[in-house]
Chain A
Amino acid sequence: MFKNYWKTAFRNIIKRKGYSLLNIAGLTIGMTCCLLIFHYVAYEKSYDRFNKQAGNIVRLRLDTYQNGVLAWKSATIYPAIGPALKKDYPEVQNFCRLMDAEGLFINEATNAKFNETKGYFADQSSIGILGIELLEGTAGEALTGPNKIVISETLAKKFFGSGKAVGKRVSGNAVSRLVSYEVTGVMKDYPVNSHLDIRYLLSYPTLGSILRLGGDSSNATETSFGWYDFYTYLQLRPGTDPDQFEKKLPDFCNRYINNNQWNKTNNRKAALHIIPLTDIHLHSNYNQEAEVNGNGQAVGFLFLVAIFIIGIAWINYINLSTARSVERAREVGVRKVLGAARSSLVYQFLAESFLLNLFSFLLSLLLFYLLLPSFDHFVGKDATGIGLTSRYWQLFMAVFIGGTLLSGIYPAFVLSGFQPIKVLKGIFKNSSGGLVLRKGLIVVQFMTSVVLIAGTIIVYQQVTFMRQQQLGFNIDQTLIVEGAGSIPDSLYNPAAEPFKTELLRQSNIKSVTASSSIMGDEILWTNSFKRIGPDNPSAITLYILGVDYDFISAYGLHLLAGRSFSKDYGTDARSVLLNEEAVRQLGFGSTSQAIGGKVKRNRDTLTVCGVVANYHHQGLQKAIEPMLILLTNEQRTYYSVKVSTDRLPATIAHISSTWNKYFPAHPISYSFLDEKFDQQYKADELFGKVFSIFAFLAILIASFGLLGLSAYNVLQRTKEIGVRKVLGANSQQILLLLSKDFLKLILVALLLAIPVCWYIMYHWLQDFAFRIHIAWWVFAIAGCLALLIALATIVLQSMRAVLENPVRSLRTE
């Protein structure tokens, strides 16, 4: 019996070639999209899951409230929190802390220098908690005691070539002090699908010993409840409910942090929260994140898009097979007369839909593996190896089987329900119920397509808007040279001014300025400030930018009141510039009133000498923060070099050689500011691109369905068309006749799509501090596009019937 089902199913697919092709093409595209998106989602969700204990590991984060207002949200916390939690709460089995450490490393044997980022001071426990695998060295003690370093396999090759690395020594200058480290371990390269990029780890006690050598006896790395630079992970005892544990943290904060004198007088409160290790990549977006994390919302969006696209393809199957039910009715009637039970007919039609789906699945599998490398390249992920995780295979199979059954069962029931008596008497008609459903499904397809098209346009508009907006500073032809972080201040300071002066001697270099942060970077230097005034104003958090004398003029920052820093004023070490936002938040009545005003940080009192117009220090996703600009002439995180466009290579070569002359110990590293700034929009731009591709494919599949339906419509109405033509109807009238019903549906789809799309995109835009308004014409364009594509599809199908000699179609009767 089963063999018979498969056989007839197969023959039916072959016999109705055109329709099968439309279905297979739609399903194959739909499934391939679905597989690719699932692959992407699987990869994004795979982050940190390689860690076998991931389920028990959480990261702490810190919210700081100033006067009851959330002022600062950071992914890093105070170093004393971890040990205190472990001591007080039995559910905390262990903890580990990581603090950023980057710098220059020198192979002591060969004196080869390497500028390395992505390293951390880390507790010994981090090896176990973060799932670090050691290839060399003893996992149990590689980071115990000061002056030890564990390096990645890649780094080991780079530092020492092949051969054993453990036991060798490197000097490193993290935290501006040269320390000789013993290599105590080589770790397997840390997986890329982790929220951390770890290339080396320095033993945590080293940090403490460096501070002590610098004269700090406070043991801050173990006792500080104020230095918020430490990523802290907790390993919870198996069986601990993280939510229950989190409820105990407010009490902990009150005991250890909020009751201290400084926090009380400044009306500051800390709140600790936890986030599961595996949620960090997609759901954590605070200040001081270790890496730029993914966007959980975008991933969720894409997942829905995948389901919708494959759904559109299945709708095609339902529509095409029910629309053509007349063709199958006779077969059903005859089979029933021959004794077929309804169930066996249901099986037969299900077999047909299953075969079609299976074939499409195999094709899409092939396409998936073919396209995977280019897709990964396109989205900028090195994830080809992961394919689909078993979880997502299961999910896909569930979607596949569910969709196949759902899309197969309805037509199967419709088709198997025909009463043989009616069919045999020839009074069988298409049921109007099926017609309503078919119309509804077409509306759903085109609604989805219009939402995707309009969504794409809005994403593009927003990205373009961000790119074209005036930034408030001059970004052109700026070369950013990273400061010589490895060079101790004593050697650096005498070289800095001569370096600048020598560069400026070159006619193609217009200005050179140094600063603590650069446009496009998150400002990590913040302090709490108060305006000094009789009304006893409250403190706010200001973002601090340290600059030299030339920064304001080099970047063309617009001075609204007062003056810029100048060598003519001896007091400028205590003078500061504010941006408008800071003026507003500090509560100076106006920009001019701010001039000469005083602001206070701890015991430090500073005088406002000027106010600069707000400018976008970061991309337009971010709001403009209140900024305080401080003259710190020894500042040297970045040099910004303004160059002219002609003879650029020569200018760059000149900058390099000058650099090497003054800072021979430190290799130069530079980039262009406009490119660096633009990096901030890459993720949104990519989102737009991915979105537009899937929008295009969605409407393509939907028009496949329309193609099939209108072809059938034309076929059924051949005689009617012939009669109408004989009666004098012209081509336009016939085309209108054939497309009217479909176009009505698409208009309905458009009307429904507007509120849905508006709602979704309105929420998407809320992520951007500076955003566009959704314009009505976006929907008009999206709607016209959908309408045009639909119309083209229908006209293409109808043209033959319209142009055919009516006598022919009538004669066939």
Chain B
Amino acid sequence: MLELKHISKWYNVGGKPTFILKDINLKINDGEFVSIMGPSGSGKSTLLHIIGMLDDASEGEYNFMDQAVHTLREKQRSQLYKQHIGFVFQAYHLIDELTVYENIETPLIYQNIKSSERKAMVADILDRFQIVGKKDLFPTQLSGGQQQLVGIARALIAKPRLLLADEPTGNLNSRQGEEIMDLFKQLNKDGVTIIQVTHSEKNAGYGSHIINLLDGRVEQ
């Protein structure tokens, strides 16, 4: 599905380049469930952002579904991730002014999907996640676990092939975390490729394999 070759990322801090990612080589196949682990500040989020095309690498090649991402222009890249990638965040990042229903619907609006179709898709996912009863509530009226559920529903609404999750259970208690992980497992079974960042060995265990990052390098 995707392949990183010699990917590096640095920032100029005080005139000197500070490496955050160094020569990352990575191949992830369709249907994998990968967990990225590592201490805080080791570059996990940065790596995830590069994979998700929210950030550029400073150096290296990135191929995503047979496209050379590093050669694409902004527009094409956004087109690509809009269609194929869904994001889940530790802080949920729901839009407070929108209801649960509208939050989930938003990605579809940006993909210019017709209103009737949107309705069917949102209804479907609300049903699947068993949050139909909450659809008219605003995010602040939900518990953290429920919010993250909405976040995941929103990430999945456009039927992405790849789900990126940055510490999705970081703000949840262990029971809620477990539920989310079970959900991920189920999704993976249904064919969604998943890359998650996590601190918890237990959560990492849900995945098919683990990548350890230390000081911007992949530990083999």
Contacts and interface: CB of A to CB of B under 8 A. Distances in A.
A15 B55 CA distance: 32
A339 B93 contact: no
A47 B98 CA distance: 54
A335 B95 contact: yes
Contacts of B109: 1, 4
Given A1-B112, A421-B49, A339 B107 contact: yes
A338 B110 contact: yes
Interface size class of B (residues with CB under 8 A): 20 to 34
B29 interface: no
A19 to B, nearest CB: 14
Interface string B106-141: 110111100000000000000000000000000000
Nearest to A8: B97
A12 interface: yes
Contacts of B52: 337
Given A1-B109, A421-B49, A339 B78 contact: yes
B95 A334 contact: yes
Contact of B111 (A334, A335, A339): A339
Interface size class of A (residues with CB under 8 A): 20 to 34
Contacts of B70: none
Give the one of A7, A8, A334, A341 with max B CB within 10 A: A334
Contact of A338 (B45, B49, B107): B107
B185 interface: no
Contacts of A337: 52, 54, 87, 93
Given A339-B78, A421-B49, A421-B54, A330 B107 contact: no
B89 interface: yes
Contact of A334 (B45, B93, B102, B158): B93
A420 B54 contact: yes
Nearest to A4: B109
A437 B121 CA distance: 45
Contacts of A339: 78, 81-82, 107, 110-111, 158
Nearest to A426: B91
Interface string A323-340: 000000011011101111
Contacts of A341: 78, 110
Given A337-B87, A339-B107, A344-B110, A331 B95 contact: yes
Interface in A592-616: none
A341 B81 CA distance: 12
A424 B52 CA distance: 13
Nearest to B97: A11
Contacts of B82: 339
A12 to B, nearest CB: 6
Contacts of A330: 93
A763 interface: no
Contacts of A425: 45
A423 to B, nearest CB: 9
Contacts of B44: none
Contacts of A340: 106, 110
Interface in A1-55: 1, 4, 7-8, 11-12, 15
A7 B109 CA distance: 13
A657 to B, nearest CB: 81
A8 B102 CA distance: 10
B17 to A, nearest CB: 18
A330 B98 CA distance: 14
Contacts of A424: 49, 54, 89, 93
A12 B97 contact: yes
Contact of A421 (B55, B81, B93, B95): B55
A3 to B, nearest CB: 9
A331 B107 CA distance: 13
A339 B111 CA distance: 7
Nearest to B92: A334
Nearest to B52: A337
A333 B55 CA distance: 13
Given A11-B97, A337-B87, A339-B110, 18 more contacts: A1-B112, A4-B102, A7-B102, A8-B95, A331-B96, A333-B93, A334-B93, A335-B95, A335-B106, A337-B54, A338-B87, A339-B107, A340-B106, A341-B110, A421-B49, A421-B55, A424-B49, A425-B45
